Every structure is written in structure tokens, then in C-alpha cells.
Amino acid sequence: MQLIKKVLALVALLPLTLAAPAEAELATKFESDVRILGTVVITTYSGNACNGSNEQVTVTNGGYRCFPVSNKRSIGISGSGCTVRTWSGGDCRGSSFTATSSGCYSVLYGSVSI
């Protein structure tokens, strides 16, 4: 009788045990989706060849944001998963340039959107 009770308890626990791997898979999928959003490090430079004085901005898994710069003539980008645009105006308006990959871009700009 005691043994039967133990077996019944095991059978009752079985569905819980089977559900666990699916949850783990979901968690993994969620984490990889978050990673797709990406991290980008943006460095703004006063020189036109990613030289001169600079300021660095790091954005991780961010939504849209816009920040103004002054007297910047080039931009260095590293990371992935984000779209980086430079704008002629200080408020992410005017003519824009879209950086498609990591690297240094020589462009005069008044603001950057990510």
C-alpha cells in the first residue's frame, strides 16, 4: 500500500517534470530576442577622421532616442542591432545619414538618433 502511494505521487509529479524543459526553452528564446535588440557604442568626434575631442554614448537594448551634439565632424560606431542616424539639425531633423555598420563615418551633424 505504501509503495502504491509512492508510485501514484511520482505519476502525479510527472507532468510538472515534463513541463520544465519547455519553460527553459522559452527563457532561452526570450534572452536571444533581447540580444537581437543590440548594444551600440557611439563616439562623436570633433575631427573629421574620428580624431580630436570625443564623447562616448552607449545604448543597450534601447528604444528610440535622440541626442544633440555640437561641432562634431565624424562618428565612430561599434556594436550591432541598432540603427544609427546623424542629422543636420540639432533635434534629429533636417537631412540625415544612416550608418549601416560599425566603423568611422566622416559627416558633419547636429544630432544623432539611435
Smaller CB separation from ligand NAG, 47 or 94: 47
Q: What angle do CA 80, 87, 72 make, to 5 degrees?
A: 85
Give the nearest distance from C-beta 90 to ligand NAG in angstroms: 21
Nearer to ligand NAG, 39 or 46 (CB): 46
108 binds ligand NAG (CB under 6 A): no
Write out the DSSP string of 27-85: HHHHHHHHHHH-EEEEEEESSTTS-SSEEEEEEES----EEEEEEEEEEEEEEESS-EE
Please, which of residues 50-79 interact with ligand NAG by CB under 6 A? 51-52
Residue type at 47? Answer: G
What is the smallest separation between the CB atom of 31 and ligand NAG, expressed in angstroms? 41
CB of 51 to ligand NAG, least distance (A): 4
Considering the rule CB under 6 A, would residue 98 count as an interface residue with ligand NAG?
A: no
Q: Quote the Cα angle for 79-80-81, to 5°.
A: 145
Residue number with CB closer to ligand NAG (52 or 79)? 52
